[in-house]
Structure 1
């Protein structure tokens, strides 16, 4: 029986490969049926990019005010207090733990 099926083996293998790649073309990660999922991911990434760009602009502004030619005394004092943990007399400090920002 195996001898009778031997000539059909290459055809069967090719058929299985075509079937596999056809299923992947439809349902795979970049398949035709996963367009909605990709659009959702694109929206999430665009929101994340906008948040990161805003944060970068804020950090660039702070760095600009900490340079020697453009030194802001208020910002320098704020950073020194945060780094050193000092407070002026009459000020109240409320310690807050920072949570790490995770990307989803």
Structure 2
């Protein structure tokens, strides 16, 4: 019986290899069926990158204003009041605990 099936073994092995690679091409991490998930992940990461870049630009601008060559009096006063805990009587102060 084995002698009768021997000519079909290479064909069967090739068929299973083709099936294996086709299955993973469709359902794998980078398969054709996961394109929408990858696009959603890319869009989320792009939004996060924009947010982080905006925060960085804001921090760079604030740091630039605190340099000794171009010191901003308003920003210096704001930081001093924040660090020392002082406030103008007309200010609304909301205390928030920072988690470190």
- Tell me which interval the TM-score lies in, with the shorter structure as reference length: 0.7 to 0.9
The Cα shift of 1:39 comes to 0.9
TM-score normalised over the length of structure 2: 0.72
Aligned to 2:80: 80
Structure 1 residues 25-80: Cα deviation after superposition (integer angstroms, max 9, x where no partner)? 11111101111111111111111111111111100100000000000111112222
TM-score normalised over the length of structure 1: 0.70
Q: Could you say which structure has the greater relative contact order, defined with CA pairs below 8 angstroms and 6 or more residues apart?
A: 1
Q: How does 1:16-35 map to 2 (within 5 A)?
A: 16-35=16-35
**Counterparts of 1:71 and 1:39 in 2: how far apart (Å)?**
44
**Counterparts of 2:44 and 2:63 in 1: how far apart (Å)?**
29
1:65–1:72 Cα contact (<8 Å) kept: yes
1:87–1:93 Cα contact (<8 Å) kept: no
Cα RMSD for the two superposed structures: 2.8
Aligned to 2:60: 60
Which is higher, the Rg of structure 1 or of structure 2?
2
The Cα shift of 1:81 comes to 2.7
1:24–1:31 Cα contact (<8 Å) kept: yes
**Counterparts of 1:27 and 1:42 in 2: how far apart (Å)?**
19
- Structure 2, unaligned stretches of length 5 or more? none
Aligned to 1:43: 43
